[in-house]
Amino acid sequence: MKVLVSEIEIQAAVSRVAAEIKVQEAGGPLTVIAIMTGSIVFLADLIRKLDMPLRVGVIQTSSYRDGEQRGRLVVNLDMMPDIAGRDVLLVDDIFDTGNTLFEVLNMLDEFQPASVRSAVLMHKIGRQEVSLKPDYVGFEIPDKFVVGYGLDYNDLYRNLPYIGVLEPHDLAEHSK
């Protein structure tokens, strides 16, 4: 597997995003909602760098079945705290087509937050299907299938401390 983004580069991006959030949010309080499961590592590192009053919750989304097959977006809001009248930061691992972030942001509006901003670790260039842009981006990556630092392929690789690119033979090996 080829390393696309090293552990050191990831931590620098997380620190930069946290600094941008602190400036924009002017000390909080802030409700951080993570889109599970891929963003959990990013969430953990990010909130440790935000020295402001925080509430944390998660929602679970799924749109992939059997590896890369994109299906209908399913959203579970059972673990989301009350966000009415609160400033919210929605955290996701990767902005690919943008459909997940777009749909979740629209859902969150129904709960009447004071504001909603979004932070993503990675913005995959060339795949966007929506006009939305995340408010905070760790770094841009090429249109490659990436794993590590929370992202998986068939529930593997989430624990890697770096972002790697799966080669075609890697994908074939794990699709059996």
Give the pLDDT of the chain (176 residues) as one tens digit per residue.
Answer: 899 999 999 999 999 999 999 999 987 799 999 998 899 999 999 999 999 999 999 988 877 555 455 567 777 677 788 999 999 999 999 999 998 899 899 999 999 999 999 999 999 999 899 999 999 999 999 999 999 999 999 889 999 999 999 887 776 666 65
What was the pLDDT predicted at 167?
83
Write out the DSSP string of 39-102. Answer: THHHHHHHHHT--S-EEEEEEEEEEEETTTEEEEEEEE-TTPPP-TTSEEEEEEEEESSSHHHH
What was the pLDDT predicted at 49?
97
The predicted model scores a pTM of 0.89
What was the pLDDT predicted at 78?
74
CATH fold of the domain at 2-174:
Rossmann fold (3.40.50)
Domain boundaries, the chain: 2-174
List residues bridging with 58 in a β-sheet: 34
Q: Is 45 a catalytic residue?
A: no
Q: Which of 87, 92, 96, 170 is catalytic?
A: 96
- 28: phi > 0 → left, psi -120 to 50 → alpha, else beta; which? left
**CA pair distance 165, 41, nearest whole angstrom:** 18
CB 82 within 8 A of CB 20: no
